[in-house]
Each structure stands twice: as structure tokens, then as C-alpha cells.
Amino acid sequence: DSDENGICVCITCKKEHLWNGGDMQAGHFIPAGRGNALRFNKINVNGQCVYCNYYLSANLAKYRVAIDKKWGKGTADRLEKESTQTKTFTEQELIGMINECKVEVKQLLLTKTL
């Protein structure tokens, strides 16, 4: 969620921070411990400042609005529904996700100041 200079915008409060300055976290709309169906869902995890994520417990009212704006109307409802499901990932699915991440990391290294 950062720009080419490493600046992230918090999904909920819209404040800007450097991705590696200690003020940004991977904010989960649906908490990571609520089941495994969303464990690897990139839409569920967005850049969020420490204040919103930790001190405001993800600032969920604003997160709901922001996630629908970023990913499309109904996204928050869809994620909440999916969070009640249990998912067993196959080895092939996991390998596919690993390979996708490797490609993304290579692209990030080429396009961002890391």
C-alpha cells in the first residue's frame, strides 16, 4: 500500500507514514484469529497506522467504509460472511500463493525504494 517513496496512507484515518518507520502495520478487517478462510486474503489486510490498528482496535467503523471504497461496495459484508467458513488449503493452492508472492516481491524490488 505504499507509493514509490515508501509512503503509506492509513486505510482508516488517511494519515501518511513511511512503511518502515514503525508507524504502519498490516491492519486486518477481520482479525487473523477468527478462522482461517481469510488467512491469506490480501483484501482483508491493508496498511493501517498503529493508532487505528492497535489503540482503536482496527477502527472498524471507518475500516468498513474504507474497504468498500477501495475494493468495491459489499466487500466488507463478503469478508464477514467468508470469515465464518473453514478453509482447508491444498498443497497446490499454497504453492500457487507462494509463487504469486515471489513475483510480487520481485516487482516491488524493481518499483519501490526499499
pLDDT average per 10 residues of sequence, the chain (114 residues): 86 93 92 84 95 95 97 97 91 96 90 69
Residue 114: per-residue pLDDT: 60
- Residue 98 domain-assigned (yes or no): yes
User: Do 28 and 43 meet the contact criterion of CB atoms below 8 Å apart?
Assistant: no
- Residue 28 domain-assigned (yes or no): yes
- Residue 41 domain-assigned (yes or no): yes
Residue 49: per-residue pLDDT: 97
- Residue 1 domain-assigned (yes or no): no
Residue 90: per-residue pLDDT: 94
CA 73 vs CA 2, 33, 51, 94, 98: distances in Å: 23, 25, 26, 28, 29
Residue 110: per-residue pLDDT: 84
Range of the domain at 40: 7-111
Element (H, E) at 62: helix 60-71
Q: Give tens-digit pLDDT for 10-30.
A: 999 999 998 888 899 999 999
Number of domains in the chain: 1
- Residue 23 domain-assigned (yes or no): yes
- Residue 2 domain-assigned (yes or no): no
- Residue 97 domain-assigned (yes or no): yes
